[in-house]
Amino acid sequence: MLKGRVNEYTEQTKEGTQYRRRVLKDFSKLLDDEIEKIVLFMIEQQGLIAARLEDLGKRRARLQDIPLLQEITELREDYRSVGLDLVTLLKFVELNANAVRKILKKFDERLGYKFTDYYVRSRSNHPYSQLQQGIGAVVGALSRNLSDLEERQGSYLNIYDQHPLAIPKLLTTIIDLVISELLKKDPIIDLITATADKLTNSTNFLRFLGQHALIAQADSTAGTEDEQHVGEDKYHLMSLVLNLANTFLYMVNTYIVVPTADGYATSLGAAATACGAVIGSMAVAQVFSSVYFSAWSNRSYFRPLLFSSVVLLLGNVMYAMAFDLGSLTILLLGRVLCGMGSARAVNRRYISDCVPPRIRMQASAAFVSASALGMACGPALAGLLQTNFSLYGLTINQITLPGWIMAFGWLVYLIWLWISFQEPDLGPDAKNFYEGSSSSTSTRYMEQEKMEQGFTEHLLPSEQDEEDDNGDEEHNETLSSSTTTLRPASSVASAYTLLTPSVKVQLLIYFMLKYAMEILLAESSVVTGYYFGWDIGTVSVFLAVLGLSVLPVNAIVGTYISNMFEDRQILVASEMALLAGVMLSFKLTVEYTAAQYVCSAVLTFVSAEVVEGVNLSLLSRVMSARLSRGTYNGGLLSTEAGTVARVVADGTITAAGLLAGEGRLLNATLLPALLVCVASIAATLSTYNSLFY
């Protein structure tokens, strides 16, 4: 009904028969009425569940004096039945929360309004916030009673009165084992907790880490058995490992030159600050390679990975030989060639399309972990390559060895890829599927939308039956438009039209954090050498430690912080911390100490990592579903935003070095980072309410 009304508004607005204020007021009232139905139904069902729990409590009380094993077992099963009904109710709430978000997004897209911001802002509380306490009480009652019944069935030890410290030491180990068995949660409680956590956007480390990859995930709690086994025929473990190895090697390749880039530039007669151009030339090429690799993966995975390996092998050979050739041009061309081999789009698409839903989250987390470890291993490896000798007329030293090491690594990978990779069967309609032009794909999208819209059938049978008569007519009227709406973006222009203000702000934030990180990392060797006299080994250790902080920081945020605060709250707080880190990095006094630099660098880097995790988590939720597939997908957009940020940052370092010199390089490069941080915080606050869902 609401979708049909939005279509009416769209037509009436075109004809000039509806005024803006009247449309907003009318739609607000309709949406309020629908949300009221949801809330009242939720309260009603919660009351029924509470009444059942009360009856079960009376039965449980009667068993206190005469505990009968069979009756305890039956009572436990009845508690589990209540738990399953609670899970169904929580799924109902989640479904309707998504429905509200989707209809608000559709309203904004069709009419060009920013109604979502207004609607959320004008209703300070979430529609279901008043129910959270009741849900928690129901879950607590179920958990406590099931635990008590398990205890009474297996043993009469009271787990609340006894404590290992009050028992003789010889029995402590035995009692620990008994208590651990008694404290095991019933599976139904785990299911309720998982569903409630999903409803309130609570997450764990694996899910939080996996969201960094912006890879479409399957709903593990829904879907048929066939849907849960999609991709099993395409899945090949060694091929997945090869994709992750490609990700790891590429990140090592990116950052292995950072500690020595300034020394390489000076050895070829350029300024030390030309390290920005050396490092950034790889990112320049990646801006273009991401697009053609994403398009190429529509048809194949093996061939783009093969091409990537060959190009990176040649690029690293050119990078290493530039020293003996005495050519800065060869050096830069080698790095450009390395950037042309960036196959991260292929790695993402392989996980999204060829890894079964049951392990896709683990694969996504592995993708992010491989990137993080590569980022740490690159500088660490550079610090170990302290040698200098000649071999067949080629100079092997600390600035050329990174090229030779990576060339050898890509050669080994190329052989491994050729032997072990298994090309998945994409079928003859692969291109049409990803570009969204096949009729079978359109039908699949329509079936998916129909399934989403019809999920409430078992919860609201009477209302559903009343709407069935009108459903077919609306389905026929919207068939063609829905097919177009759900089709993946087929061009840059069509992808851009799908970028709502919230998505644009999240991409700006991603640009900001990558810009700040690249400034910090790329100029680290120049800044630390100029102010503190650090050698390559010290810089390498420093950068490796920063890189290794990625996983523990994400573990803390994903396991604890994200369960205590909303993502948007964490986003604003971490942006503020990042701004503080950038401000602390400025050289404002005569003496600039290593302690100040290290503290500011750690604060900047860690804050940027937190921002990245929350940013990509929010981006995956506010982004249109049409950007989850196809060539121009959300992963490509975020990759392009981050790559452009790196290009701009490296260009800033080179330009600032030429214009201001090494003595003013630090402040000259931090000033743009400061301005971008302030702009991103302002943009975040301007769309803060639209990040609610």
State which H helix or E strand residue 591 sits in: none
Going from N- to C-terminal start, the domains of the chain cover 1-154+185-203, 239-423+492-687
Residues 309 and 419 sit within 8 Å (Cβ to Cβ)? no
Residue 108 to residues 4, 102, 474, Cα–Cα distance (Å): 14, 10, 21
pLDDT above 70 (res 160): no
**In this predicted structure, what is the pLDDT of residue 333?**
95
**In this predicted structure, what is the pLDDT of residue 680?**
95
Mean pLDDT confidence for 235-247: 90
Residues 192 and 139 sit within 8 Å (Cβ to Cβ)? yes
Distance, CA of 456 to CA of 147 (rounded, Å): 32
**In this predicted structure, what is the pLDDT of residue 139?**
57
pLDDT band at 483 (very low <50, low <70, confident <90, very high): very low
Q: Among the listed ranges 127-136, 292-301, 668-677, which one has the minimum average pLDDT value?
A: 127-136
pLDDT band at 204 (very low <50, low <70, confident <90, very high): low
Q: Which residue's entry shows tokens 């030339």?
A: 281
pLDDT above 90 (res 245): yes
**In this predicted structure, what is the pLDDT of residue 512?**
95
**In this predicted structure, what is the pLDDT of residue 472?**
41
Contacts of 453-458 with CB under 8 Å at 24 or more apart are 455/95, 456/92, 456/95, 456/96, 458/88
- One-letter amino acid at 420 equals S
Q: Which residues contact 293 (CB under 8 A, 6 or more apart)?
A: 304, 308, 342, 343, 344, 345, 346
**In this predicted structure, what is the pLDDT of residue 214?**
62
**In this predicted structure, what is the pLDDT of residue 4?**
86
Regarding predicted confidence, which is higher, 660 or 563? 660
Stated pTM of the model: 0.66
pLDDT above 90 (res 410): yes
**In this predicted structure, what is the pLDDT of residue 461?**
38
pLDDT above 50 (res 181): no
pLDDT band at 677 (very low <50, low <70, confident <90, very high): very high
pLDDT above 60 (res 229): no
Residues 503 and 619 sit within 8 Å (Cβ to Cβ)? yes
Range 239-423+492-687 has CATH code 1.20.1250.20: yes
Mean pLDDT confidence for 503-526: 92
Q: Which residues contact 266 (CB under 8 A, 6 or more apart)?
A: 272
pLDDT tens-place string over residues 341-365: 998 888 888 887 888 877 777 788 7
pLDDT above 50 (res 526): yes
Q: What is the mean pLDDT of the chain?
A: 76
Mean pLDDT confidence for 33-43: 80
Q: Among the listed ranges 13-27, 72-86, 522-536, 558-572, which one has the minimum average pLDDT value?
A: 13-27
Regarding predicted confidence, which is higher, 275 or 462? 275
pLDDT band at 49 (very low <50, low <70, confident <90, very high): confident
**In this predicted structure, what is the pLDDT of residue 411?**
97
- How would you write 624-644 as a 3-class SS string? CHHHHCCCCCHHHHHHHHHHH
Regarding predicted confidence, which is higher, 225 or 30? 30
